[in-house]
Structure 1
Amino acid sequence: MAVVYFDWLDYVVFGGMLLLSALIGVYFAFFAQKKQNTTSEYLMGGKTMGMFPISMSLIASYISGISLLGLPAEMYTFGTQLWTIVLSEWAVSLTIAIVYLPVFYKLQITSTYEYLRMRFNSNVRLLGSIIFIIKMLLYIPIVIYVPALAFSQVTGVNLHMITPIVCLVCIFYTTLGGIKAVVWTDALQTIMMYIGVLIVLVYGTWRLGGVGEVIRINKEGDRLDFFNMDLDPTIRHTFWTTVFGNYFGWLSLCAVNQATVQRCLALSSLRRARITIFIMAAGIFSIVSLCCYTGLVIYATFAKCDPLSTGAIRKNDQLLPYFVMTITGSIPALPGLFMSGVFSAALSSMSTGLNSICGVIFEDMIRPTYNKPISERTASLIMKIIVAVVGAMCVSLVFLVEHMGALIQAGKSLAGITAGSLLGLFTMGLFIPWINSTGALIGGISSTLLVGWISIGTQAAMMRGDIIVVPKPVDVSGCGENITIPFMATQPSVEFDRSGTFFLYRISYLYYTFIGMMVCIIVGSIVTYFTEPNDPTMVHRDLLTPVIHRWLPPQSVHCRRPRLTQHTVDLQSRELDRLTTNPAISKPISY
């Protein structure tokens, strides 16, 4: 198939998406009725956000370009086992709504890690904040790299040229408009994401002759694999790793993540926040399933002529843009619409990450170091500078991402370094009242170091060739006589020797969060036992999940309710005064 690149109409569509995103930031910065010039407005939207934009923002935040490009490539290369991750998402949403969200909502905290200070002490809060920042600095560069790779594939433009341009747009509207700009651009970008995926998916299915034909070709190619029930933890994907292991990964990503909690607390009630969480689950279920099915369509299209073997693409993560340009390149504006969807997913994840990092750095690191109050104007300026600086750092880290393996595995492996320790810290705080601050601190550090060693060691082993994941078989018999197959592409892949590689490096990356959480809890419990355990009667019930209240001893009359920081109290007082003195805005905005 001939290589097709963007035409002028594709650039117009793509440029229009970037321009509209930037204008949303300008609107909320300068023209909105309530400008983003206070920390409450900048980080929480004044708690008047509607369920629709918040739901769309949450969906867009967790379905990045990694998913849009990585999931189809995963289905094409390794089969459909990873598709079963959608089963765990419903259980995660139920867990968040019942276990975690009621505590955060009752405390009304601006930063998730404020909980760690209230439950343990300031050192544990600082640890949680640092772990989160490390997590986002590892994650955002991958999110940026993905659309740049795709754009390079469909335009021929060097990915290191397009990366700074697009990121500047994201940094611009995130810096100016705060959470309202982030949420509404996320809503726009989620719609673009769905439109792009659906059009390509429907057209590709129609071109092949229907869903039945897609399934038949994939069945013949050994791509349909949903129920590998092998319990071996070193197998990359089984039913247990994708459902059980991924449950803890998603739980950490959604339940104790600053991005999720910050958006849920921007709503006016716990009930609305719970509804939003389930809307998010439905949205993630649908878009992940669409992406996975797109992988089946791509395989059915190239079943007899693998583009990676022919050298048409360099990495399997380029399969989707190559597919789009080869089968839809002749349709006006469709490639531009697709790339707008891919970039929309990436920009929404990046903007959410930048806004969340901004809140954590300012509330958990900068504000506590000041002995006197910071004015709202100064605070707003500081937060905007933080967004700009962190965004520039993330762009510079993109150069390291090129050398990693498959995007889905690389992303989840790096996320697992910090996800387990964060989930362990919050779970200990919510479920185990006798855990003390020393146990939490040492448990969190131990977990991060151990999983970091495993994850980085695994990535290094894969780069050295010590670990090779065997892909599904491919065929080049239909490529034609004039196609030259590179020598290396014809060589069969050989699976790594399971007995010769260190055991922990061979564990499935989907178990990293579970391992990190258990290490954090076990080490924290042991350290607490040998130091001075908390008296459960002296831990206020507001700090513990309602799920365990019935099994706890009666609370001591001397137990004090946890105190918010003075800044948070001031924010709540000003918000109450605003609603009391202006009845016209006392009813939350809904859309």
Structure 2
Amino acid sequence: MAQNDFFVWKQYPSIPDSVGFAGSYAGVSQGVLLVGGGANFPDGIGPWGNTKKTWYDQVFVLDDPAGQWREAGKLSRRMGYGISVTWNDRVVCAGGADGDRHYTDVWTWQWSNGKLVTDTLPSLPHPLANTTGAILNNTLYVIGGLANPADTASQNIVWSLDLSMGKNAKWQELDPLPGPARMLAVAGVQDGYLYVFSGVELYFDKTTEKAQRRYLKDAYRFHPPGGGWEAVTDLPHPVVAAPSPALTSGQSHLLIFGGDDGQLASRVMELKGDHPGFRRDILAYHTITGTWSVMGQVPESIDEKVKAPVTTPLVVWNGSVVLPGGEAKPGVRTTHVLSATPQSPSGTFKALDWTVVGIYFLVVIGISVYVSSRMNHSTGDFFLGGQKIPWWAAGLSIFGSKLSALTFIAIPAKTYATDWVYIFSNFMIVAVVPVVVLFFLPYFRKINITSVYEYLAIRFNKNVKLVGSLTFLLFQAGRLGIVIYIPALVLSTVTGVNLITCIVLITIITTAYTISGGIEAVIWTEVMQVTVLLGGAFLCFYFISDSVGGMDVIFSEAAASDKLTMANWGWSITEPVLWVVIIGNFLTQLTVYTSDQVVVQRYLTTPTLQEAKRSVYTNALLVVPATLIFFAVGTALWVYFRHNPALLDPHGRTDNIFPWYISRQLPAGLSGLVIAGLFAATMSTISSSMNSIATVATTDFYKHFRPQSTDIQRFRFARWTTLALGALGILIAVWLVFLKNSSIWDQYLKLMGMFGGCLAGMFIGGIFVKSINSIGILIGFFLSVIILYFVQAGNWIHFFLYPGIGIFGCVIFGWVFSRIFPGRSEMTKAG
């Protein structure tokens, strides 16, 4: 076994041949590794030995990395040097040669009930070998190659075959690859693009009257279905015949293992068996910054005879890269099967970092102890802080409650990966605040509510209130596990602390201060947390700027690459063009600031209406500089890693770029401060959700079903509910750890997210349309949910516009059905 920063290398059982094969076909089906065909020189010496190049048709299967190879079947003919790619539990193979001719064959392998099943697909338009290819969106792409063994010029053809159509598919000829025609290139796919790297141009030299090779290091990408080819950054050196397709790693890297750089191509016959072999570098192309770096090497320490192979497929089997056989030196095969298991090194926290984080936790605990010592055991104090919270603290708390750890991670990541187009999504809070202050806030303060959904009972009836409250509870309870799990995952990676330990530690401390101090403890810890959060982000930006040469460098490089674009123009409803961003996010923020208990509850904690208004404006004023800081951090990260691509994690997710930088590049102490900020954002979101859920559960359900209960009984119920929520959050988050896939929860949250706009529609309809009654608003609510479900499923509009569907659908349907089912509108003086 050998290990470097990003891979652990092993050897699997050797190919069952005394020499090995180059140009084989390989892939995975039903969890087994299939390798077949190829060619060798039987004496193992190469073309200068005593045997001629021989072609093979055997297909071998390996069930388990610790098992043994066995013969599984045969090809239709002896051949090799075509394409093989795994797709939908099958191996798709195309083209090839046998020394005398090239072929148009296209077929699939599938392992079924312990047997190899071969099926044919439409043949290539003409014979081809030494080509490359990859599969993107169920379409096989074939690029370059040679049409005949005697050809003196390579090809620049690009063909595609939609594999989802089976035998009814037809080959399409696409725009040719730019640059020189080539063979033995490397293809790859990443983030919706098809990439082609390097290769060798075969051309006829009139001077020597022979075919010559020119080694290439240019690269191109293609965005189907309608996009054309565009050049990307050249490689540092050629990687001819490297294992293909390139490894799609993480969300933004393509890795190429070894390859022939052509440096010794003219001396092959001179060196013969003394040739040192091909390059061992693992080249990484980063699609976001357009940069190349070396991310390790194919090791020789496993076995002194192991070399980095060429002319072999790259296969991903059980999460590991497999290089089965291939050519170890020119003409010399290998039987070795190399395996590389990806790994991402965890961050290391120093003593000073832990000291900073420890101080943060002590301050949180101290605030909790102090507030709880002053709190009366009443629901008024637990839910509203006795309405004695100063406006500036309430404003900071509103800001902190919506700036979650996901935001702390996601905004810089989005800007790093794209541009500043989404900046208006946050700025729309400023536009929404006057509407909230003028129309909604007076209602909520005037009717003296604790839960915002009590308004629905006053305006309509208790059934409408219960629907609104239940919608909020289901969404927040389901979301709780996610907002614990994802930040804990990041914190575990950064600090090296066990993931489950992070989950339990964060949740226990947050639950403890939420139970002991209620909303007042939540608000005052959020005041401190916002300070730590913004301070840490600002210091990060300063440190990154200093390391790359200043802010001028950051913004000049970003501007030159269109990374500061703030608006996409057009009238599309499916893309984030300017009008979609502005209108969609105005309605999104209107939804949050009018119907989300987490936010509205803070309006009610101040002594007066005027102070409540000031708190809302305080939040709006904070949004602008905070948004600028986080967007600037994202841009700074792009510039930093553009200068230092080798410092990236090739297996990482784009969303982890900020924590990755924090853990690997910040000095001791500052790293601890920023991670404390990440803790702060996580705990702020958790505590806000817990207290708001407890408020709604107690006010809208416990009090509804137990109207004779005393205030102290409701207070105790709220505390026990908070404790139960902490336990529930831990259980969901730990379950996600073992599930190792949050997609189920992503879909759940996407479904529940549909209800947000519809819920806001209830409030907007109740305040602005006096004729809407309870029957109409309930029908409007559920019809809007159904419509929004189909809109999401069909991807008919950009997701920014979903709240608009919910709001307007609820109001319009509510008005229509109120006329169909007339009755009193239940409008009160307060409404």
Aligned partner letter, 1:264: Y
TM-score (norm 1): 0.77
Q: Kindly indicate whether the alpha-carbon contact (under 8 Å) linking 1:55 and 1:277 is maintained by their aligned counterparts in 2.
A: yes
User: Is the counterpart of residue 150 in structure 1 residue 490 in structure 2?
Assistant: yes
Would you say 1:267 and 2:602 are equivalent positions? Answer: no
- Aligned residue type for 2:581: T
Is the Cα contact below 8 Å between 1:114 and 1:125 reproduced in 2? yes
Q: Distance in 2 between matches of 1:241 and 1:404?
A: 28
User: Which moves more between the two structures, 282-291 or 442-451?
Assistant: 442-451
Counterpart of 1:325?
Answer: 663
Q: CA deviation at 1:145?
A: 2.8
1:544-571 Cα offsets, whole Å, 9 max, x none, are xxxxxxxxxxxxxxxxxxxxxxxxxxxx
Could you tell me how far 1:520 is from its partner in structure 2?
A: 1.2
User: Which of 327, 342, 360 in structure 1 is aligned with 2:696?
Assistant: 360
Q: Tell me the equivalent position of 2:396.
A: 56
Among 818, 825, 830, which residue is 1:528 paired with? Answer: 818
2:366 is aligned to 23
The question of whether the paired residues in 1 share the 8 Å contact of 2:485 and 2:736 is answered with no
Contact conserved, 1:416 with 1:451, CA < 8 A, in 2? no
- Indicate conservation of the 8 Å contact 2:347/2:496, yes or no: no
- Is 1:396 aligned to 2:735, yes or no? no
Aligned residues of 2:775 and 2:818 also touching (Cα < 8 A): yes
Residue 795 of structure 2 aligns to a residue in which SS?
helix
Q: C-alpha separation between the residues in 1 aligned to 2:754 and 2:391?
A: 32
Matched to 2:805, the amino acid is: I
Cα gap change, 1:322/1:410 in structure 2, threshold over 3 Å: closer, same or farther? farther
Matches within 5 A, 1:435-446: 435-446=772-783
Amino acid at match of 1:316: T
The percentage of aligned residue pairs carrying the same residue is 27
1:414 Cα shift? 5.9
Q: In structure 2, what residue type is equivalent to 1:170?
A: T
* Inter-partner Cα distance in structure 2 for 1:415 and 1:526: 25
TM-score (norm 2): 0.56
More displaced, 136-145 or 73-82? 136-145
- Contact 2:511-2:687 within 8 A present in 1 as well: yes
- In structure 2, what is the equivalent of residue 431 of structure 1? 768
Contact residue 415 and residue 634 of structure 2 kept, 8 A: yes
The corresponding residue for 2:720 is 385
Q: For the Cα contact (< 8 Å) 2:346–2:496, is it kept in 1?
A: no
Aligned partner letter, 1:505: N
Task: Check conservation: 1:28, 1:177, Cα contact below 8 A.
Answer: yes
CA shift digits 1:263-289 (9 cap, x unpaired): 111111111111110110111222122
Secondary structure in structure 2 of the residue aligned to 1:435: coil
| Aligned position for 1:296 | 635
Matches within 5 A, 1:114-513: 114-235=454-575, 237-304=576-643, 306=645, 311-328=649-666, 331-372=667-708, 374-398=709-733, 399-400=735-736, 403=741, 413=750, 416-452=753-789, 454-455=791-792, 457=793, 504-513=794-803
Paired residues of 1:44 and 1:110 also in contact (CA < 8 A): yes
Contact 2:403–2:685, Cα closer than 8 Å, also in 1: yes
| Amino acid in the other structure paired with 2:663 | M
CA contact (8 A) 1:313 1:322 kept: no
CA contact (8 A) 1:139 1:415 kept: no
Cα contact 2:399–2:619 (8 A) shared by 1: yes
Q: Deviations over 1:282-311 (max 9, x none)?
A: 112221221111000000001255579x64
Q: Deviations over 1:313-355 (max 9, x none)?
A: 5211110011123331xx2311110011011011111111111
Distance 1:36 1:240 in 2: 49
- Indicate conservation of the 8 Å contact 1:28/1:36, yes or no: no
How far apart, CA to CA, are the structure 2 residues paired with 1:303 and 1:8? 30
| TM superposition shift of 1:517 | 1.1
Q: How far did residue 80 of structure 1 move?
A: 1.5
**Matched letter for residue 657 of structure 2:** L
- Helix, strand or coil: the match of 2:356? helix
In 1, are the aligned partners of 2:460 and 2:827 still within 8 Å (CA)?
no
User: Aligned partners of 1:522, 1:138: CA distance in 2, in Å?
Assistant: 29
TM-aligned CA deviation for residue 89 of structure 1: 1.4
For residue 55 of structure 1, what is the amino acid of its counterpart? G
Give 1:382 deviation, angstroms. Answer: 0.6
Query: How far has the Cα of 1:94 moved from its partner?
Result: 1.0
Gaps of at least 5 residues in structure 1 are 458-503, 544-591
Question: Could you say which structure has the higher strand fraction?
Answer: 2
Structure 1 residues 148 and 7: CA distance shift in structure 2, 3 A? same
SS at match of 2:830: helix
CA contact (8 A) 1:413 1:509 kept: no
Residue 142 of structure 1 contacts residue 411 of structure 1 at CA under 8 Å; is this kept in 2? no
Distance 2:649 2:481 in 1: 26
Q: Distance in 2 between matches of 1:436 and 1:3?
A: 57
Mapped to 1, the partners of 2:657 and 2:384 lie a distance apart of 39
Alpha carbon RMSD of aligned pairs, Å? 2.4
Q: Which residue of 1 aligns with 2:141?
A: none
Range with bigger deviation, 421-430 or 319-328: 319-328
| Alignment counterpart, residue 518 of structure 1, candidates 781, 804, 808 | 808
Paired amino acid for 1:292: F
**Structure 2 Cα separation of the partners of residues 129 and 541 of structure 1:** 22
**Change over 3 Å in CA distance of 1:436–1:174 after alignment to 2:** same
User: Comparing 108-117 with 317-326, which one deviates more in the overlay?
Assistant: 317-326
Distance 1:450 1:395, change over 3 A: farther
Give the distance between the partners of 2:789 and 2:369, measured in 1 at CA.
40
Amino acid at match of 1:349: T
Does the aligned pair in 1 maintain the 2:427–2:623 contact within 8 Å? no
CA 1:161–1:84 in structure 2 vs 1: closer, same or farther (change >3 Å)? same
Q: CA deviation at 1:122?
A: 0.4
* Alpha-carbon distance change, 414 to 230 in structure 1, aligned in 2, over 3 angstroms: farther
Q: 1:249, 1:416 within 8 Å by CA — same for their partners in 2?
A: no
Q: 1:332 to 1:400 in 2, by over 3 A?
A: closer
1:15-64 residue CA offsets vs partner (Å, 9 max, x unmatched): 222232233223322x22xx240011111111111112211111100111
Change (3 A) 1:120 1:4: closer
Match of 2:269 in 1: none
Q: How many Å separate the matches in 2 of 1:312 and 1:217?
A: 23
Deviation string, structure 1 residues 82-118 (Cα, Å, up to 9, x no partner): 1122331111111111111011111111111111001
In 1, are the aligned partners of 2:346 and 2:493 still within 8 Å (CA)? no
Output one character per residue of 1:94-147: Cα deviation in whole Å (capped at 9) or x when no partner.
Answer: 111111101111111111111100110000000000111122124333322342
CA shift for structure 1 position 404 = 5.0
**Contact conserved, 1:36 with 1:178, CA < 8 A, in 2?**
no
Q: Tell me if the contact between 1:443 and 1:519 (Cα under 8 Å) persists in the aligned partners.
A: yes
CA distance in 2, matches of 1:410, 1:70: 18
Measured against aligned partners, the alpha-carbon deviations of 1:376-395 in whole angstroms (never above 9, x if no partner) come to: 32221110111111222233
Q: Which amino acid aligns with 2:720?
A: I
Give, in whole Å, the separation in 1 of the partners of 2:587 and 2:646.
Answer: 35
In structure 2, how many angstroms separate the alpha carbons of the residues matched to 1:352 and 1:102?
23
Aligned residue in 2 for 1:13? 356
CA 1:371–1:138 in 2, change beyond 3 Å: closer, same or farther?
closer
Distance 2:549 2:663 in 1: 19
Cα distance, 1:151 vs. partner? 1.1
Q: Which moved more, 1:115-124 or 1:148-157?
A: 148-157
> 2:645 and 2:574 mapped to 1: Cα distance?
28
Instruction: Give, as a single letter, the amino acid of the residue that structure 2 aligns with 1:428.
Output: G
Q: Which residue of 2 aligns with 1:98?
A: 438
**8 Å contact 2:513–2:522 — kept in the other structure?**
yes
C-alpha separation between the residues in 1 aligned to 2:434 and 2:398? Answer: 16
Give, as a single letter, the amino acid of the residue that structure 2 aligns with 1:172: A
